[in-house]
Structure 1
Amino acid sequence: MKIEKLAGIDIGSNAIRLLVVNVIIDKNTTATVFKKSAIVRVPIRLGADTFITGKISENNVNRMQKAMHAFSLLMEVHGVKKYKACATSAMREASNGNDVVESIFKNTGVKIDIIDGKKEAEIIFSTDLTSIIDEHKSYLYVDVGGGSTEITVFSHGKIINSKSFKIGTVRLRNKDSKQIIWKTMEQWVIENTNHLKSLSVIGSGGNINKLFKMSEKPIGKSLSLQYLENQYLFLKNMSFEDRITVLGLNPDRADVIIPATNIYISAMQWSGAHKIYVPKIGLADGIIKNLYFNKL
């Protein structure tokens, strides 16, 4: 048996995550096991800078630098042999994004790649969905982040189309998503799914993971459109403080979970889907898989 430690760093618009995974290769079996060893999430809301001022603030640059230094030490302690750090919409839209990347590399040794929406969708989609999907059916894969939503349509095991939209939870919270982008996303989903029958949605992102956990359903089961619509009204009628004290949500989750739920509901309504599956995977998981198969 061989165990290889890999790490993926997801620098999003709402938070920054480090995922450390044990990749277990057993010569006696053909299957390679990816077992999560550690997950660290730091609530540095880069999108609150970029989507309002157009650049990452000095305060958040310093916080990012400290986080990357801490991640570097954690990876060293875990014995990580290979890692990849990817930054998404907040960093790619920041006027000083490249300068921040250079500064962090110079001061911490952590190399960050700023990826576009298409690459982000490809990495996320490369995660293992075999436990959920039926190769004879059609799905709409929706990943909701702080600054963008990546949507992929696939049918009978093949990707039909994929697109990134500048609609995300932090943008919506800051009222930075224009109505025309919503309309464009709606039209795209309808045009790419109206010929597909019995379509279901696969949702990824921290907010849909939290909604699934709150449902107390077993892993592998789906959530219904009606459940999400009821949860949306339930959450919307609660105060920010009650979402934290009564539901136990983190402050940086309590304010974005409502716009995130709205995005998932909209995608389901536009596509005619009545079920959403939540495999609890994201960009960091995709980074790990791509690292292992030497695709990054």
Structure 2
Amino acid sequence: MKDIENGTKLAIIDMGSNSIRLLLGTFTNGEWHNEPKTLWTTRLGKRTTEGLLSDESISASLTALGEIKSVIEAYGATAVHGFATSAVREAPNGQEFMVEAAKVCPMEWSILSGDEEAIWGFKGALVDQLPSGKHYATIDIGGGSTELALGSKDGVYWSKSYPVGAVRFQHISEDGPQRVWEETQFMWDPMPIKGEFDEFVAIGGTATSLAAIDLGLTEYDGTKVQHHKMTRERVEGLVMDLRYMSREERLEVPGLPAGRADIIVVGAEILTSFMDAYEVPHVFVSDKDGMEALQQELL
């Protein structure tokens, strides 16, 4: 996609381990003007004992993609790009799923490596801050994996993808408080910061949901979530509040999506482990991520 014309409408689909997300945007006067992201919870990350994408998750995802196709057509997007992350890249039938996905919802698609996922997330989250010349780090806690990236306006010079996610570690969290923290605390690699450092930025559904809960949002608003500051103490407080709630009680919590009610504690415990390992007192949450990075790549 080159020489994008004024008025071009674009759809980007992110097929993750917990949900499939859709970003719609129109290119006007040299920049993208985006609609709020929408998502469908399909749990691609809950695979069979053989590591395959399950029939149930495939069916739910293809149904969601059928609905997404209708939304895209109603919006009038003339280009559709999709990418898949850990659930699909790790599954032996991941490629087969993507072929079927593109039949249901025609798109140009790719399966991102862990490093690509980390780099795209970094670029999308920090596009407005990188001109400062300072160095930043991102953490992207997904359903199946967690990506870290470190870099500056000159690019990402260190990244790492860990097989740790809110869906993947759900059974560990059910073993009791601190189990996820104990499993992950000593796995984080040293972060080789090479210049003047500014902020740690958290992206992905865990981070944005925690921010929405902290803000008490009855309806998700990415503009309010963007740059919201979450301290280590506050994240731990939310973990303690949410862990001992029933699912019904969690569904009443403002800001907590129904599709994340059973895994929000897991994701938050991964975040506290990261913050403790690197002695991070707070993170800033970004509503922008790899989807926005793909938009910029297309330019």
- Which TM-score band (shorter chain)? 0.7 to 0.9
* Aligned-pair CA distance for 1:148: 0.5
- What is aligned with 1:36? 34
Provide the aligned C-alpha RMSD in A. Answer: 2.9
SS of the residue corresponding to residue 121 of structure 1 reads helix
Paired residue type of 1:192: P
- What is aligned with 1:29? none
Does the 8 Å contact 2:114/2:147 carry over to 1?
yes
Does the 8 Å contact 1:121/1:164 carry over to 2?
yes
Does the 8 Å contact 2:185/2:277 carry over to 1?
no
* Aligned-pair CA distance for 1:123: 1.8
* Aligned-pair CA distance for 1:20: 0.4
- What is aligned with 2:283? 276
Identity fraction in percent: 27
Distance change (3 Å), C-alpha of 1:138 and 1:123: closer
Does the 8 Å contact 1:136/1:156 carry over to 2?
yes
Deviates more, 1:237-246 or 1:103-112: 103-112
Distance change (3 Å), C-alpha of 1:233 and 1:59: closer
Counterpart among 219, 238, 250 of residue 245 in structure 2 = 238
Distance change (3 Å), C-alpha of 1:80 and 1:227: same
Paired residue type of 1:139: Y
* Aligned-pair CA distance for 1:128: 5.3
- What is aligned with 2:265? 258
* Aligned-pair CA distance for 1:179: 9.2
- What is aligned with 2:12? 8
Distance change (3 Å), C-alpha of 1:214 and 1:130: same
* Aligned-pair CA distance for 1:244: 0.9
- What is aligned with 2:142? 145
Does the 8 Å contact 1:86/1:115 carry over to 2?
yes
Counterpart among 16, 22, 25 of residue 18 in structure 1 = 22
Question: Over residues 132-161 of structure 1, what are the superposed CA-to-partner deviations in whole Å (9 max), with x where a residue is unaligned?
Answer: 568354432101100000101225765331
Counterpart among 76, 87, 103 of residue 90 in structure 1 = 87
Question: Over residues 55-97 of structure 1, what are the superposed CA-to-partner deviations in whole Å (9 max), with x where a residue is unaligned?
Answer: 1222332332222232223222212122211111111111211
SS of the residue corresponding to residue 112 of structure 1 reads strand
Distance change (3 Å), C-alpha of 1:182 and 1:199: farther
- What is aligned with 2:161? 164
> Unmatched 5+ residue regions in structure 2?
174-178, 217-223
- What is aligned with 1:227? 234
Partners of 1:107 and 1:133 in 2: CA distance: 38
- What is aligned with 1:28? none
* Aligned-pair CA distance for 1:53: 4.2
Does the 8 Å contact 1:17/1:284 carry over to 2?
no
Partners of 1:130 and 1:242 in 2: CA distance: 37
Distance change (3 Å), C-alpha of 1:33 and 1:112: closer
User: If the length of structure 1 is used for normalisation, what is the TM-score?
Assistant: 0.83
- What is aligned with 1:185? 187
* Aligned-pair CA distance for 1:235: 1.6
- What is aligned with 1:214? 213
* Aligned-pair CA distance for 1:284: 2.3
* Aligned-pair CA distance for 1:267: 1.6
- What is aligned with 2:75? 78
Question: What is the number of equivalent residue pairs in this alignment?
Answer: 282
- Determine whether 1:60 maps to 2:62: no
Distance change (3 Å), C-alpha of 1:42 and 1:101: same
Counting helix residues as a fraction of each chain, which structure ranks higher? 1
* Aligned-pair CA distance for 1:24: 1.6
Partners of 2:107 and 2:150 in 1: CA distance: 34
* Aligned-pair CA distance for 1:272: 1.9
Does the 8 Å contact 1:121/1:162 carry over to 2?
yes
Does the 8 Å contact 2:228/2:286 carry over to 1?
no
SS of the residue corresponding to residue 161 of structure 1 reads strand
Does the 8 Å contact 1:7/1:80 carry over to 2?
yes
> Unmatched 5+ residue regions in structure 1?
26-31
Partners of 2:257 and 2:191 in 1: CA distance: 37
Question: Over residues 83-112 of structure 1, what are the superposed CA-to-partner deviations in whole Å (9 max), with x where a residue is unaligned?
Answer: 211111111111211122223334543443
- Determine whether 1:249 maps to 2:248: no
Does the 8 Å contact 1:135/1:157 carry over to 2?
no
* Aligned-pair CA distance for 1:201: 1.4
Distance change (3 Å), C-alpha of 1:107 and 1:246: closer
